[in-house]
Chains A and B, each alone.
Chain A
Amino acid sequence: MSDLLAIQNLVVEYPVGGGRHVHAVSDVTLAVKRGETLGLVGESGSGKSSLARALLQLPPPKAGAVVFDGQDLTQMRGQALRAMRPRLQMIFQDPIASLNPRRKVAEIIAEPLIVSGVSDTAERTRRVRAVMEAVGLDPDLVWNRRPHEFSGGQCQRIAIARALVLEPALIVCDEPVSALDVSIRAQIVNLLEDMKARFGLTLLFIAHDLAVVKSVSDRVAVMYLGRLCEVADSDSLFATPAHPYTAALMAAIPVPDPDVPLGDTKLKPGDPPSPLDPPSGCRFRTRCPHAQPRCASEVPPLRRIGPAREVACHFPLVG
Chain B
Amino acid sequence: MNRFAELLDRLAYEPGRNNKLRLLTAYFREVPDPDRGYALAAITGALSFKHAKAGLIRDLITERADPELFRLSYDYVGDLSETVALMWPKAPLMAGHNNPPPPTLTEVVTTLRTLGKTELPKQLSRWLDELDETGRWALLKLVTGAMRIGISARLAKTAAAALGEKDPHDIELMWPGLSPPYPDLFAWLEGRGDKPVNRDVAPFRPVMLAHAIEDEDFKNLDPADFIAEWKWDGIRVQAVSGRDSAGHMQARLYSRTGEDITKSFPDLVPSLHLPAAIDGELLVLRDGRVQSFNVLQQRLNRKLVSPKLIKEFPIHLRAYDLLGDDANDLRELPFAERRKRLQAFVKKLDDARIDLSPTVPFDNWNALMAARADPASAGAGEDADAVEGVMLKRRDAPYLPGRPKGQWWKWKRDPHLIDAVLMYAQRGHGKRSSYYSDYTFGVWTDGEDGEQLVPVGKAYFGFTDEELLQIDRFVRRNTTEKFGPVRHVVHEPDQGLVLEVAFEGLQRSPRHKSGVAMRFPRISRLRWDKPPREADRLETLERMLKNVTGN
Do A and B come from the same complex? no
